Structure 1
């Protein structure tokens, strides 16, 4: 079943920034309860554990902290001079101050949503070990987790609340485009960065999609598209959680993309560092275009192509290396559910409720079962669905059937369906321009819909990075130069790219267009009617790719 295991490649800058570790099946301890099975490869924050309780966090947190400290001290088995520190990591807003989670949850008026948020809320624990004169290895959350799970199943005397704890790794979550890495290796081997790997031939392989000009990110001349009219003030709201979007891009102005998504107190859900990320590299000797630069802008353009009437909103979570910790995604989704609950009741036109969330991201977890532990993001998605938000997720680009989270949590996947009343969750795979399944796209029973995801054209930040044309010559008879193509000159503001990252917002935009065609405004609809409209729209669109009649599969995303 898992003939092709994904090769997980994380940029070195992100590994250092988040203190990431790679779980190597050849050397890692087996998962608790499966002593004869090796775990699958995954990437996680090396000194973090995600902790939540079956009925909230507070009652189990202290006991988990105490037990982790005991486990680490036993594993070190050295002198008493060693100090083990286990502290909760507080999620902070863009202003740097810790969020008042208790107050936010208390303010949720829908009791069902409040219960979902409380159960999904996970606190990351940071584990550090200090010693004055002993050299200690860095903390590794994986073996600590296995011992902790054994004690959760049979709690020590006096630790009854420990049995209610749900604990997992804090995975590295990455975006889902095909990109060329940093730098691009074109010999032997070749890889594209996330994480398509090909040892020999780029010609007929999945890696060919990452080559600029053959589906990979590359500049193109501005298409002859008319700039769309301003979004409909009552149109559906599509939210993109991604890298920052170039809100000043002329083709996106009028879509509402520059309007912040705020909480009741006016604070933003977005990450301050993601909003501040520049598209060019911070490395002074290179100053090239960052690997995931323009990803959010490209996605926003696809939504606008499919539904010019949609109001597009952005929550920048990712810096331009395209990697965040799972707890940051989890908190952002839960904050959005809290914000949605308030928006549905306030009727404030400046803070409209969200109809659709587009998520072009994911990670591979280390076991095929135990979703309750390993996919804590499921509860956050369920909270969003309960508030009427349709969640559209990408399948992943690794040509594998191995479950990618959150894609594998969609219907027919690893999780039970969301209880009614709930809006739907769908998973989108990528097709080629001729309608066949793209060679890079993941494929499994939970991939319910397919859209074009190869060699798409969309908006891109207007930037010219440090690269130069391959050749530049003086003209023979007139002043000026002849030159090759400058692969990082995006000053026209448009690009080509490939990935399930882009099939997903294309589908989200088409779903928004179906809501417009059905005459349903965002505000005022009940959860039930919103979900029914979305499901009806999905039923009108084919769920299998075709090799011909492509417009019948995708519709025509080209603007009028």
Structure 2
């Protein structure tokens, strides 16, 4: 098995627009309600003459992202509130929070809630409708909009989703299928146990990890932003251990936990702590959340490939797979703060992404890309999962992976990774896109899983055990699929190769990052060292 690099991406053209229909994103209403979100339906929204129908996306229903530079101006803020639509205004508390900081020259998007202004009854709040009304006012009053250069860049507050194959999204789970033949097992294309979190028995222990003294230098640090860590897994020491493989950043996590995501006076789901607690969406039924254990699977894959490194995990993903953009920004800001103080980060692995309402992305997604580029400018290699929607539609941030950034400082590589089957064919669920130039194993991978989690159909109750007919036993290991797991395969190989250089003094981090990626392009190696027995 190899990691494949595609040297010549397909040219943009008519054949590039295929896959699931643009309205194909699906999420259970319970998850949308939990996060105060809606799915933008291209065929159900009003349009002005000449306006192009949007693509589907997931967004917070009552929130807009507005550059803080516009919110800092009272005149600009009042203008925005007047032009959001009849009966709608910006939340005064949200504006006040946004004004509690200083802003640079470049836009900094701040989430601000929408609420009724009290002058109209039965207001139907919707961020997409308010954004269209605001954009129309900007066009009609061009030249007379206070802080116009910032107001015109207001955006939806998109939500990202994790890329574990049996999770949220398009109901396409990669059941065994081959080109032209449909499925060979169950009818339809819904995911089932074949690609889900199947418990396995693993006889081997974790790979040997050299001491820092044996290594001859500081450990390579891989940062993941995912569902959090767990206690008591037999492969991992407590994260409080000074030389633990899997670590956390409590002060940084506290910043993420403190994010205020209240909408319309109604709180939505918050990210609490840094642990993946395995909460059940319905304890009476016992169905497991779609992304419980997602982060630990990723950590285990990196451990198998690069045991001499360390993984620092920030919890930005809910157990249902939803990733708030604010949490990602906060985690990256924390990393940048720590790096300015001397902390080193070598690889960032992101196993989630999202769709924009336009093929060109949005200003807010561009802002996240630019923030990631600040890490790249410090020598951090960024690895992105391509997504599991079987579409060529741009999935961000992976869709930015091959973007050339003119001017500015040199940047470390940023790559998008699709998934392969064990026989080297492309996994049926894997997205494809011109920016996704890498493919790695991503189907039926075995890795670490929270040991306290029962099977996906189990429920443990205080008055006894209640299960469905197909209950599974608990296991600290699972077999799971998705581009979420192809990405850490690549990140692990990168970390293993970087570990070979830690004893060398005075290396240029940027050149080292580029050299490692070039070596992988040339050699197509999945494991850093493999010796038959």
TM-score of Structure 1 vs Structure 2, range by shorter chain: 0.7 to 0.9
Deviation at 1:540, TM superposition (A): 1.4
Q: Is residue 538 of structure 1 aligned with residue 517 of structure 2? A: yes
Are the counterparts in 2 of residues 464 and 488 from structure 1 also a CA contact under 8 Å? no
- Please state if 1:149 is matched with 2:140: no
Q: Secondary structure of 2:316's match? A: strand
Contact map agreement 1:174 1:362 (CA 8 A) in 2: yes
Match of 2:40 in 1: 23
Checking the alignment, whether the CA contact within 8 Å between 1:306 and 1:559 is kept in structure 2 is no
Residue of structure 2 aligned with 1:140, choices 117, 126, 129: 126
Compared CA separation, residues 322 and 206, structure 1 to 2 (3 A) = farther
Retained in 1: the 8 A contact 2:353–2:397?
Answer: yes
Match of 1:504 in 2: 487
Deviation, structure 1 residue 525: 6.1
> 1:67 is matched with which residue?
79
1:230 CA drift (Å): 5.8
Aligned-pair distance for 1:518? Answer: 3.1
Aligned to 2:195: 215
Q: Could you tell me which of 116, 126, 129 is aligned with 2:113?
A: 126
| Cα deviation digits, residues 332-351 of structure 1 (max 9, x gap) | 22332222222x2xxxxxxx
Q: Are 1:242 and 1:314, in contact at CA under 8 Å, matched by a contact in 2? A: yes
Three-state SS of the structure 2 residue aligned to 1:428 is strand
Query: Which residue number in structure 1 is paired with residue 50 of structure 2?
Result: 35
User: Over residues 121-140 of structure 1, what are the superposed CA-to-partner deviations in whole Å (9 max), with x where a residue is unaligned?
Assistant: 32011011154993222x11
Give the alignment of 1:319-338 within 5 angstroms.
Answer: 319-338=318-337
Q: What's 1:364 paired with?
A: 355
Secondary structure of 1:554 counterpart? coil
1:132 to 1:275, Cα distance in 2 relative to 1, 3 A: farther
Task: Assess, with a 3 A threshold, how the Cα gap between structure 1 residues 64 and 133 changes in structure 2: closer, same or farther.
Answer: closer
Distance 1:180 1:122, change over 3 A: closer
Gaps (5+ residues) in structure 2? 1-15, 258-270, 459-466
Contact conserved, 1:91 with 1:328, CA < 8 A, in 2? Answer: no
> Gaps (5+ residues) in structure 1?
77-81, 93-97, 106-114, 183-188, 345-351, 470-482, 544-550
The residue number in structure 2 matching 1:546 is: none
Shift in alpha-carbon separation, 1:441–1:119, aligned structure 2, 3 A: same
Q: Is the 8 A contact 2:18 2:393 kept in 1?
A: no
Structure 1 residue 510, shift from structure 2 partner: 0.5
Change in Cα spacing, 1:389 to 1:379, as seen in structure 2 (3 Å) is same
Q: Give the deviation of 1:224 after TM superposition.
A: 1.9
Report the CA distance shift for 1:382/1:171 in structure 2 as closer, same or farther (over 3 A).
Answer: same
TM-superposed deviation, 1:152: 4.1
* TM-score (norm. length: structure 1): 0.75
1:178 — aligned with what? 165
Distance in structure 1 (CA, Å) of the matches to 2:441 and 2:256: 29
Deviation at 1:219, TM superposition (A): 0.5
Q: CA deviation at 1:438?
A: 1.3
Contact 1:172–1:323 (CA<8 Å) still a contact in 2?
yes
Question: Offset of 1:435 from its aligned partner?
Answer: 1.7
Q: Aligned partners of 1:168, 1:559: CA distance in 2, in Å?
A: 52
Contact 1:430 1:503 in 2 (8 A): yes
Q: Which residue pairs with 1:275 in the alignment?
A: 274
Structure 1 residue 451: Cα displacement: 0.9
Question: Corresponding residue for 2:227?
Answer: 243
Task: Determine the C-alpha separation between the residues in 2 that align with 1:270 and 1:534.
Answer: 29
Q: Is the 8 A contact 1:180 1:191 kept in 2?
A: no
What displacement does 1:61 show? 5.5
Structure 1 pair 285/278, CA: closer, same or farther in 2 (3 Å)?
same
Q: TM-score by structure 2 length?
A: 0.79
**3-state SS, counterpart of residue 238 of structure 1:** strand
Label 1:204 to 1:468 Cα distance change in 2 as closer, same or farther (>3 A): closer
User: Is residue 316–residue 324 contact of structure 2 (8 Å, CA) maintained in 1?
Assistant: no
Matched, 1:44 2:59: yes
C-alpha deviation, 1:12, in angstroms: 3.3
1:164 aligns with 2:150: yes
Q: After the TM superposition, which of the residue ranges 11-20 and 155-164 deviates more from structure 2?
A: 155-164
C-alpha deviations, 1:158-198, integer Å up to 9, x for none?
A: 6441233321110011101101669xxxxxx96559xx9xx
Hey, what's the Cα distance between the residues in 1 that align with 2:384 and 2:322?
A: 17
Q: What does residue 431 of structure 1 align with?
A: 420
Classify the secondary structure of the residue corresponding to 1:508.
helix
Name the CA shift for 1:356/1:445 in 2 (closer, same or farther; >3 Å).
same
Contact persistence 1:91–1:331 (CA under 8 A): no
**Cα distance between partner residues in 2 of 1:13 and 1:520:** 51
CA RMSD across the alignment: 3.8
Q: How far did 1:534 drift? A: 1.5
Counterparts of 1:376-391 in structure 2 under 5 Å? 376-391=367-382
8 Å Cα contact 1:260-1:268 kept in structure 2: no
Residue pair 1:241, 1:315 contacting (<8 A) in 2 also: yes
Q: CA deviation at 1:555?
A: 2.7
Is 1:452 equivalent to 2:436 in the alignment?
no
Cα distance in 1 for partners of 2:164, 2:280 equals 18
Q: 1:131 to 1:321 in 2, by over 3 A?
A: same
Relative to structure 1, the CA distance from residue 287 to residue 552 in structure 2 (aligned partners, 3 Å threshold; closer, same or farther) is same
Going from structure 1 to structure 2, the CA distance change for 1:336 and 1:503 (only over 3 Å counts) comes to same
Does the 8 Å contact 2:296/2:450 carry over to 1?
Answer: yes
Tell me which of 9, 14, 18 is aligned to 1:3.
Answer: 18
CA distance in 2, matches of 1:190, 1:356: 31
